[in-house]
Amino acid sequence: MKNIVTIGGGTGTSQILRGLKWNQDIDIVSIVTVTDDGGSSGILREDFNILPPGDIRNNILALAEQETFLTKLLKYRFNEGFLKNHNLGNIILLALTRINGNNFPLAIKTLSEALKIKGRVFPASLDSLKLVAELDDGEIIFGETSIVLKNKNIKRIWLDGNAEAFDESVMAIQKADIIIFGPGSLYTSIIPNILVDGIRNAINLCKAKKLYIANIMTQPGETTNYSLKDHVEELENYLGEELDYIIANKSNLPYEIIQRYQKMGSSPVKLDMEEDRRVVVSDLVYIINDEEPKIRHDPKKTSELILKCVL
Amino acid sequence: MKNIVTIGGGTGTSQILRGLKWNQDIDIVSIVTVTDDGGSSGILREDFNILPPGDIRNNILALAEQETFLTKLLKYRFNEGFLKNHNLGNIILLALTRINGNNFPLAIKTLSEALKIKGRVFPASLDSLKLVAELDDGEIIFGETSIVLKNKNIKRIWLDGNAEAFDESVMAIQKADIIIFGPGSLYTSIIPNILVDGIRNAINLCKAKKLYIANIMTQPGETTNYSLKDHVEELENYLGEELDYIIANKSNLPYEIIQRYQKMGSSPVKLDMEEDRRVVVSDLVYIINDEEPKIRHDPKKTSELILKCVL
**What string of DSSP letters covers A231-274?**
HHHHHHHHHTS--SEEEEE--PPPHHHHHHHHHTT--BPP---T
pLDDT tens figures, B89-114: 999 999 999 999 999 999 999 999 99
Longest dimension (CA), chain B: 55
Name which of B48, B82, B95 is nearest A88 (Cβ-Cβ): B95
pLDDT tens figures, B163-176: 999 999 999 999 99
Distance from CA of B50 to the nearest CA of A (A): 12
pLDDT band at B311 (very low <50, low <70, confident <90, very high): confident
Q: Which of B43, B49, B92 to mutate to test the interface with A (most CBs of A within 10 A)?
A: B92
Residue A4 confidence (pLDDT) above 80: yes
pLDDT band at A158 (very low <50, low <70, confident <90, very high): very high
Q: Interface pTM (ipTM) of the complex?
A: 0.93
Tell me whether residues B78 and A88 touch, CB distance under 8 A: no
Q: Which of B72, B74, B93, B109 to mutate to test the interface with A (most CBs of A within 10 A)?
A: B72
* DSSP 8-state assignment for residue A164: P
Q: Is residue A130 part of a domain?
A: no
pLDDT band at B292 (very low <50, low <70, confident <90, very high): confident
Name which of A81, A88, A99 is nearest B72 (Cβ-Cβ): A99
CATH classification of the domain holding A234: 3.40.50.10680
- Per CB-CB distance under 8 Å, the chain B contacts of A96 are 73
Q: Which of B40, B43, B76 to mutate to test the interface with A (most CBs of A within 10 A)?
A: B76
Which residue range is the domain that position A195 belongs to? 2-33+168-310
- The residue that leads in pLDDT, A255 or B311, is A255
Tell me whether residues A82 and B82 touch, CB distance under 8 A: yes
Q: Which of B94, B102, B115 to mutate to test the interface with A (most CBs of A within 10 A)?
A: B94
Question: Hey, is A157 helix, strand or coil?
Answer: strand
- Per CB-CB distance under 8 Å, the chain B contacts of A94 are 78, 83
Domain total of chain B: 1
Q: Is residue A146 part of a domain?
A: no
| Edge-to-edge strand ranges of the sheet holding B140-142 | B140-142, B130-135, B154-160
Q: Is residue B143 part of a domain?
A: no
Q: Is residue A75 part of a domain?
A: no
**Residue B234 and residue B186 in contact, taking contact as beta carbons nearer than 8 Å:** yes
pLDDT band at A291 (very low <50, low <70, confident <90, very high): confident
Tell me whether residues A80 and B114 touch, CB distance under 8 A: no
pLDDT band at B65 (very low <50, low <70, confident <90, very high): confident
Residue B15 confidence (pLDDT) above 90: yes
What is the rounded distance in angstroms from the CA atom of residue B48 to the CA atom of residue B38? Answer: 14
- Per CB-CB distance under 8 Å, the chain A contacts of B73 are 92, 95-96, 99
Residue A275 confidence (pLDDT) above 80: yes
Name which of B91, B96, B98 is nearest A91 (Cβ-Cβ): B91
**Residue B4 and residue B26 in contact, taking contact as beta carbons nearer than 8 Å:** yes
pLDDT tens figures, B127-174: 989 999 999 999 999 999 999 999 999 999 999 999 999 999 999 999
Q: Is residue B91 part of a domain?
A: no
Q: Is residue A196 part of a domain?
A: yes
Q: What's residue B291's pLDDT?
A: 82
Interface residue ranges in chain A relative to chain B, Cβ cutoff 8 Å: 43-44, 47-48, 69-70, 72-73, 76, 78, 80-83, 88, 91-92, 94-96, 98-99, 110, 113-114
Tell me whether residues B72 and A47 touch, CB distance under 8 A: no
pLDDT tens figures, B226-278: 999 999 999 999 999 999 999 999 998 999 999 999 999 999 999 999 899 99
What is the rounded distance in angstroms from the CA atom of residue A136 to the CA atom of residue B183? Answer: 70
Q: What's residue A310's pLDDT?
A: 86
**Residue A151 and residue A113 in contact, taking contact as beta carbons nearer than 8 Å:** no
Q: Which of B44, B82, B85 to mutate to test the interface with A (most CBs of A within 10 A)?
A: B82
Q: What's residue B303's pLDDT?
A: 96
Mean of pLDDT values over A218-236? 96
DSSP annotation string for chain B: -EEEEEEE-SHHHHHHHHHHTT-TTEEEEEEE-----SHHHHHHHHHH-----HHHHHHHHHH-SS--HHHHHHH-B--SGGGTT-BHHHHHHHHHHHHTTT-HHHHHHHHHHHTT-SSEEEESBSS--EEEEEETTS-EEESHHHHHHH-S-EEEEEEES--PBPHHHHHHHHH-SEEEE-SS-IIIIIHHHHTSHHHHHHHHHS--EEEEE--SB--TTT-TT--HHHHHHHHHHHHTS--SEEEEE--PPPHHHHHHHHHTT--BPP---TTSTTEEEE--EEEE-SSS-EEEE-HHHHHHHHHHHH-
Q: What's residue A23's pLDDT?
A: 94
**Residue A125 and residue A166 in contact, taking contact as beta carbons nearer than 8 Å:** yes
Tell me whether residues B83 and A69 touch, CB distance under 8 A: no
* DSSP 8-state assignment for residue A205: H
Count how many residues are written for chain B.
311
Q: What's residue A104's pLDDT?
A: 97
pLDDT band at B31 (very low <50, low <70, confident <90, very high): very high
Q: Is residue B133 part of a domain?
A: no
pLDDT band at B214 (very low <50, low <70, confident <90, very high): very high
Tell me whether residues B98 and A78 touch, CB distance under 8 A: yes
Residue A274 confidence (pLDDT) above 90: no
Tell me whether residues A78 and B99 touch, CB distance under 8 A: no
What is the rounded distance in angstroms from the CA atom of residue A75 to the CA atom of residue A58? Answer: 8
Tell me whether residues A78 and B96 touch, CB distance under 8 A: no
Q: What's residue A65's pLDDT?
A: 84
pLDDT tens figures, A62-109: 999 888 999 999 999 999 999 999 999 999 999 999 999 999 999 999
Name which of A48, A76, A96 is nearest B81 (Cβ-Cβ): A48
The residue among A10, A5, A12, A59 whose CA lies nearest residue A27 is A5
Tell me whether residues A92 and B88 touch, CB distance under 8 A: yes
Q: What's residue A289's pLDDT?
A: 82
- Per CB-CB distance under 8 Å, the chain A contacts of B114 are 69-70
pLDDT band at B16 (very low <50, low <70, confident <90, very high): very high
Q: Is residue B242 part of a domain?
A: yes
Tell me whether residues A81 and B48 touch, CB distance under 8 A: yes
